[in-house]
Amino acid sequence: MERQILHLKVPGFAVAVERVVDPALRARPAAVCAGSGTRALVWAASPEARQEGVRRGITRAEAKRLCPGLAMVPPNPPLYRRASRALFEILARRCPVVEPVRGGRIFLDMTGTGRLMGPPRDSARAIRREVLERLALDSVIGVAANKLVSRIAAKVSPRGDVLDVLPGSERSFLDPLDVRLLPAVRSLPDRTALADLNLRRVREVALIPLDRLAMVFGAAGRRLHMESRGVDAAPVRPPGREPAVIEEATCAEETNDWEILLGRLMLLAETAGRRLRASGLVAGTLDLRILYADRVEAKGRRRLKPPAALDSRLRDAAGALFEQVNFRRKRLRWMELALRRLAPIPAQLSLFPDAPEALREGALLAALDRLRSRYGDAVVRTGITR
């Protein structure tokens, strides 16, 4: 059965979401930029801004030089995550296999759904219409027999449209395109070699024998050879769901007061630890994400070796990670603590029993957990010193 793969893309996803929240941004070129300094980097740009040369990764100063009328807003990662989840939920109801790539980009495998959903092009138009009506996000969709061609089709599709590459026409579709559209180009050890060899169109790469490409580019040349011919056997993979214990807090007032922030973080660690122990689990890693007042996000991860569920271990790891992650002198708005790589508490006795202090803490926490379950978290609080 011929595969039918859709690739949905919301151009400039972060900007598109910001325009839903602030309609005033729709009437002008806009970009999301992390920070207010001249060296701050652009996260995303609207189609109008990209026409002026503004693109992801350039500095704020360069973006302003290219487009003096550019509107810039700070990033808001929690908002983008909510929009991504809403987009995924819409698509998951219409397609049996959905693979999110990153914000605003999703693969859908519609193979075998023709009798129920109709031809893939019709399905794509219906999906695009629903996303626009329900989320106010305009998208483009590429339709093809594999992920590679559908992805490129979405990239070159006219704004707000569906581009269908019929099976068997992959080579004729790819041949006239710029070679830089091939994902393999990003993994080349030396991208300037393409220009040095005067390889500018996909057809020019497709005509070179595999052994010649491998001789120049190594293993990346083999991938380039396959992509230039529109060959891609990669399946659409639904996201894996890793169990996790996640606690988050939003500051009532943005602050950089260390004691207030550390106290809030310790409370998150204790709450997460109580949930771990109630489920009979230990955690192997602790992740921390913080969001500053200017919407710049920072994150980090710390391994817990051996895996832990005691509050003292979680508090120590969270505090050390907070010092590592919070390096800016800005006020904080939000923080999230996540415990991952969960496993059951080992039932087998250890050759090296826990220290008496750990045994005493375990007994104390069991009593505190019972108290807090009955009277609430505020019945007993842990103080901090620094």
Residue 381 has pLDDT above 70, yes or no: no
- Tens digits of per-residue pLDDT, 167-185? 999 999 999 999 999 988 8
Q: Give 297's Cβ-side CA count (13 Å radius).
A: 15
Q: What tokens were used for 192?
A: 């300037």
User: What strand order describes the sheet that includes 245-255?
Assistant: 245-255, 332-344, 281-292, 297-308
Domain 172-228 matching CATH 1.10.150: the answer reads yes
Which helix (H) or strand (E) element contains residue 5? strand 5-9
Q: What is the CATH number of domain 245-379?
A: 3.30.1490.100
Residue (of 35, 45, 43, 38) closest to 59 by Cα position:
38
312 vs 365, more confident: 312
* Distance (Å) of CA 109 to CA 7, 100, 342: 9, 12, 31
Burial class (CB in 10 A: 0-12, 13-18, 19+), 239: exposed
Residue (of 131, 129, 181, 140) closest to 164 by Cα position:
140
CA distance 147 to 143: 9
CB 37 within 8 A of CB 49: no
Domain 6-113+123-143 matching CATH 3.40.190.170: the answer reads no
CA distance 78 to 92: 21
CB 87 within 8 A of CB 99: no
Match 């029993």 to its residue by tokens: 353
- Tens digits of per-residue pLDDT, 14-60? 999 999 999 999 889 999 987 777 777 888 899 899 999 998 878 88
Pinpoint the residues of the chain covered by CATH 3.40.1170.60: 6-113+123-143
pLDDT band at 118 (very low <50, low <70, confident <90, very high): confident
